[in-house]
Amino acid sequence: LKLISIIIPVYNEAESILPLQHQLDIYCKDLYEIIFVDDGSTDETFSIIHSLAKKDPRYKCISLSRNFGHQNALMAGMENASGEYIIIMDGDLQHPPALIPAILEKLDEGIDLVITKRNKTADISAFKKITASLFYIFINSISDTKVEANVSDFKGFNRKVLQSILQFKEKDLFLRGIFSWIGFKTATIEFDAPARQFGKTKYSFGKMLKLALKGTTSFSFKPLRVALLIGSIISLAAFSFGIFALVAYFQGNTVPGWASLIIAIMFLGGTQLLAIGLLGEYIASLFTESKKRPLYLIDKTINLS
If the CB atoms of residues 9 and 223 are measured against ligand UDP, the closer one turns out to be: 9
Region from 88-96, 176-184, 255-263, 294-302 binding Mg ion, contact rule CB under 5 A: 88-96
Nearer to ligand UDP, 39 or 112 (CB): 39
CA distance 95 to 98: 9
The bridge status of strand 151-158 relative to strand 85-88 is: antiparallel
Torsion-angle region of 303 (φ positive above 0: left; ψ -120 to 50: alpha; else: beta) = left
Q: Choose from ligand UDP, Mg ion, none: what does 88 bind? Cβ within 5-8 Å by kind.
A: none
Q: Which of 72, 94, 216, 217 binds Mg ion (CB under 5 A)?
A: 94
> 13-52 mask for ligand UDP (x: CB under 6 A)?
x-------------------------x-------------
Query: Rule CB under 5 A: is residue 220 a binding residue for Mg ion?
Result: no
Binding string, residues 239-268; x marks residues near ligand UDP by CB under 6 A? ------------------------------
Q: How far is the CB of 16 from ligand UDP (least distance, A)?
A: 8
DSSP, collapsed to helix, strand or coil, labels residue 133 as helix
Residue among 140, 150, 201, 288 that touches ligand UDP (CB under 6 A): 201
Task: Report in angstroms the alpha-carbon separations of 247 from 22, 26, 236, 239, 254.
Answer: 81, 82, 17, 13, 9
Identify the CA nearest to 174 among candidates 129, 221, 220, 115. Answer: 220
Pick between residue 194 and residue 231 the one whose CB is nearest to ligand UDP.
194
Cβ-Cβ contacts under 8 Å for 124 (sequence gap 6 or more): none
3-state secondary structure 145-195: CCCCCCEEEEEEEEHHHHHHHHCCCCCCCCHHHHHHHCCCCEEEEEEEECC
Q: Per-residue contact track with ligand UDP, 45 to 74, x per CB under 6 A?
A: ----------------------x-xx--x-
